[in-house]
Structure 1
Amino acid sequence: KVWVGHNILRFDSARIREAFAEIGHAAPKPAGMIDSLDILMNKFGPRAGNMK
Structure 2
Amino acid sequence: MEDILKGSVDNHIHCCPHINKRSTNIFDVVDQAEKSGMYAIGLMDNFSNSSGYASL
Q: Verify same fold: TM over 0.5.
A: no
State the TM-score bracket (shorter-chain normalisation): 0.3 to 0.5
Larger % of strand: which?
2
Q: TM-score, normalised by structure 1?
A: 0.37
Q: TM-score, normalised by structure 2?
A: 0.35
